[in-house]
Copies of this chain bind each other. A is one copy, B any other.
Amino acid sequence: MLTKDIIQDHNKTLEADHQFKLAYITELLDRKGIDAQNIIEKIKAFQVAIPSWALGTGGTRFGRFPNGGEPRNLEEKIEDVGLIHQLNGSSNSISLHIPWDIPSDANAVKQLLKEHSLTIDSVNSNTFQDQKDQSYSYKFGSLSHTQTNSRNLAIDHNIACIEYGKQLDSKVLTVWLADGSNFPGQQHFRKAYQRTADALSNIYAAMPSDWTMLIEYKPYEPFFYSMVIPDWGTSYSLCQQIGKNAQVLVDLGHHLPNTNIEQIVGRLMHFGRLGGFHFNGSMYGDDDLTTGSIKPYQFFLIFNELVDGMQDPNVKNPPLAWMIDASHNTKDPIEDLLQSVNAILATYAKALLVDRFALSDAQENNDVLRAEELLRDTFFTDVRALVAEASRQVGGALDPVATFRKVNIRENLINKRGKFSVATGL
């Protein structure tokens, strides 16, 4: 229902204001010797994957307040991501969750993806829930389970995920291991670690050699005394044992209070083991809020570290997988995703503007204030017109959320899919 013309028409109403802002930032950058169009090109090249499970309204253990018009199956999820990508030009892939998104007809799905200019980012296994009629339970763990039967079931499930991924040309398996314990004594820490390492090695062995395994960490939830992979150190040590294509995945919400996440990012890039990123926002824990909504400066500092590492030829880190992983409980999921991608692009753009030569000079000379102000100057520079322009140049909307609202997309989706449609997996 959304067409290029509709987007262009809406853009026209915002054009004058946009050009005013764009002219200013272009001139401002020019005075610093930076070519604005060069930055815009980099923004255009930056793509963020959308997870299939984020297209429906999320909730907490206390309840869920559905928004209406939610996609009811994989095909409708792809449609929604297509819509997002049409609006912002920066979301050209989708992450699947197995078993929620098992394709019944892989070729048809690939065809649909192609129509929406999308690809599959990564496949994500799910061993944190029992599926109906599952032969062995994950109640007490999956890859770390004490019982061989449960463990093998989880290994087989992950291998099945790889197979589904192959059918859809994915090359990444993301493992978030929700195993852990709720009480002291419940789990033997060393044995649980070793069982996990062995199980991951088995899965790794079944993975094609051009695939990457991303190993996520999380300090707590769904378990509240210990998690088998609680921190980057554990993920990293597992990657070391498993193989060169095993990489750490950093989810912004998976850290203890006050953690300096940007330093972890730098650490992992230094070791060549940072494989991917889950974007979201957090104030208390794994809050799964909109990316950059609570601590935008920390988010910038993280991107500063990422860009610094990506631009440094001495860093032997592979290209990263970028993905949103949030829960949209109170906002419209599509609006929230558009807002998130926008925040990511603007933050990336700021990190690109950092004068690394001057920063390095200030650092080497311990001019603390100057080093800090170089970052602050960039952070406080308003680059939003660059992001809008990048979208415009690829046929997207200057203000994706405004266009989404203007043309009543949600109302249309509700009419089509119903007020109480529920996404598979929610």
Residue A384, interface by CB 8 Å: yes
A285 interface neighbour in B184, B285, B331, Cβ under 8 Å: B285
Which residues from B are CB-within-8-Å of A181? 330, 368
Segment at the interface with B among A74-82, A107-115, A260-268: A260-268
8 Å CB contacts to B: which residues of A293-307?
293-298, 301, 305
A218-246 interface code vs B (CB 8 A; 1 in, 0 out)? 01111011100011111011000000000
A359 interface neighbour in B185, B271, B384, Cβ under 8 Å: B185
A20-52 interface code vs B (CB 8 A; 1 in, 0 out)? 110010011001000000000000000000000
A263 interface neighbour in B226, B269, B332, B373, Cβ under 8 Å: B226
CA distance A305 to B185 in the complex (A): 10
Residue A382, interface by CB 8 Å: yes
Tell me whether B222 and A63 are in contact (CB under 8 A).
yes
A332 interface neighbour in B63, B185, B369, Cβ under 8 Å: B369
Tell me whether A61 and B59 are in contact (CB under 8 A).
yes
CA distance A128 to B63 in the complex (A): 7
Tell me whether A366 and B146 are in contact (CB under 8 A).
yes
This chain: how many copies in the complex? Answer: 4
Residue A182, interface by CB 8 Å: yes
Tell me whether B372 and A226 are in contact (CB under 8 A).
no
Q: Which residue of B lies closest to A146 (CB)?
A: B364
Q: Please count how many residues in chain A sit with their CB below 8 Å of the partner chain's CB atoms.
A: 110
Which residues from B are CB-within-8-Å of A258? 219-220, 256-257, 283-284
Tell me whether B234 and A267 are in contact (CB under 8 A).
yes
Residue A363, interface by CB 8 Å: yes
Which residues from B are CB-within-8-Å of A257? 256-258
8 Å CB contacts to B: which residues of A350-371?
359-360, 362-366, 368-369, 371
Residue A406, interface by CB 8 Å: no
Residue A401, interface by CB 8 Å: yes
Tell me whether B283 and A225 are in contact (CB under 8 A).
yes
Tell me whether B260 and A259 are in contact (CB under 8 A).
no
8 Å CB contacts to B: which residues of A186-213?
186-191, 193-194
Known: A184-B293, A190-B266, A237-B271. 8 other contacts (CB 8 A): A62-B222, A63-B222, A183-B330, A190-B267, A193-B270, A233-B267, A236-B237, A296-B379
- Chain A contacts to B: CB under 8 angstroms: 17, 20-21, 24, 27-28, 31, 59-63, 65, 128-130, 137-140, 146-147, 178, 181-191, 193-194, 219-222, 224-226, 230-234, 236-237, 256-260, 262-263, 266-267, 269-271, 282-285, 287-290, 293-298, 301, 305, 308-309, 312, 315, 329-332, 335-336, 339, 346, 359-360, 362-366, 368-369, 371-375, 379-382, 384, 401
